[in-house]
Structure 1
Amino acid sequence: MRSTAAALTALSLSMLLPSLGISIANVALPTLSTAFDASFPAVQWVVVAYLLTITVLVVALGRLGDVVGRRRLLVGGIGVFTAATLGCGLAPSLPLLIAGRAFQGVGAACMMALTVAFVGETVPRGRTGSAMGLLGTMSAVGTATGPALGGLLIAVSGWRAVFLAVVPLGVVALVLAARVLPAVPPRPAERTGAVLREVVRDRALVAGLTASALVSAVMMTTLVVGPFHLSGVLGLAPALVGLVMSAGPAVSALTGVPAGRATDRFGSRTMVVAGLGGIVGGALVLAFTPPSFGVVGYVLPLVVVTASYAVFQAANNTGVMKDVPARDRGLVSGMLTLSRNVGLMGGASAMGAVFAFAAGTGDVTSAAAWEVARGTRWTFVVAAALVAVGLAVVLRAAVRASAAPGASEPARAGS
Structure 2
Amino acid sequence: MPDDPKPSGANAEADASSPSTPGSSGGFVLAATILASAMAFIDGSIVTIALPAIQAEFGAELASLQWVVNGYTLMLGALLLAGGGLGDRVGRRRIFVAGLILFTAASILCAAAPTIELLIAGRVAQGTGAAALVPQSLAIIAATFPREVRGRAIGTWAAASAVTTALGPPLGGFLIDSWSWRAAFWINIPLAAGALWLTLRYIPENRDDAATGPIDWTGTAVAVLSFGALTVGLTWLTEADGNRALALLAMATGGLGLALFVAVELRAANPIMPLAPFRSRTFTGANVVTLFLYGALTGVLFLLPFELIGRRGMSATAVGLTLLPLGLIIGLFSRPAGALADRFGPRLFLAAGSAVVAVACFVLALGLESFWRGAVLPVILLSAGMAVAVSPLTTAVMNSAPDGQSGAASGINNAASRLAGLLAVAVLGALAEHVFRRGAPGGSFAALASAGETAPAAM
TM-score (norm 2): 0.63
Alpha-carbon separation, structure 2, partners of 1:269 and 1:5: 36
The aligned residue for residue 280 of structure 1 is 355
Query: Which stretch shifts more, 320-329 or 56-65?
Result: 320-329
Is the 1:216–1:344 Cα contact (8 Å) retained in structure 2? yes
Alpha-carbon separation, structure 1, partners of 2:51 and 2:369: 34
Letter in 1 for 2:133: M
Shift of the alpha carbon at 1:261? 5.5
Structure 1 residues 205 and 76: alpha-carbon distance in aligned structure 2, compared to 1, 3 A threshold: farther
The aligned residue for residue 227 of structure 2 is none
1:69-148 alignment, distance < 5 Å: 69-89=91-111, 98-116=120-138, 122=145, 124=149, 130=155, 133-134=158-159, 137-138=162-163, 140-141=165-166, 143-145=168-170, 147-148=172-173
Equivalent in 297, 304, 314 of residue 373 of structure 2: 297
Q: Percent identity?
A: 23
Q: Does 1:61 align with 2:83?
A: yes
1:213-362 alignment, distance < 5 Å: 213-223=291-301, 226=304, 237-239=312-314, 243=318, 246-260=321-335, 263=338, 267=342, 270=345, 273-274=348-349, 276-284=351-359, 287=362, 294-298=370-374, 299-317=376-394, 320=397, 332-351=409-428, 362=435
Q: Does 1:366 align with 2:388?
A: no
Q: Please, which runs of 5 or more residues in structure 1 have no aligned partner?
A: 390-415
Equivalent in 268, 284, 296 of residue 206 of structure 1: 284
- SS of match in other structure, 2:211: coil
Aligned residues: 375
- SS of match in other structure, 2:314: helix
Shift of the alpha carbon at 1:262? 5.1
Q: Please, which runs of 5 or more residues in structure 2 have no aligned partner?
A: 1-20, 214-268
Higher helix residue share: 1
Shift of the alpha carbon at 1:25? 4.3
| Alignment RMSD | 4.6
Structure 1 residues 13 and 302: alpha-carbon distance in aligned structure 2, compared to 1, 3 A threshold: same
Letter in 1 for 2:279: R
TM-score (norm 1): 0.69
The aligned residue for residue 2 of structure 1 is 22
Structure 1 residues 225 and 240: alpha-carbon distance in aligned structure 2, compared to 1, 3 A threshold: same
Equivalent in 187, 208, 232 of residue 210 of structure 2: 187
Alpha-carbon separation, structure 1, partners of 2:395 and 2:100: 24
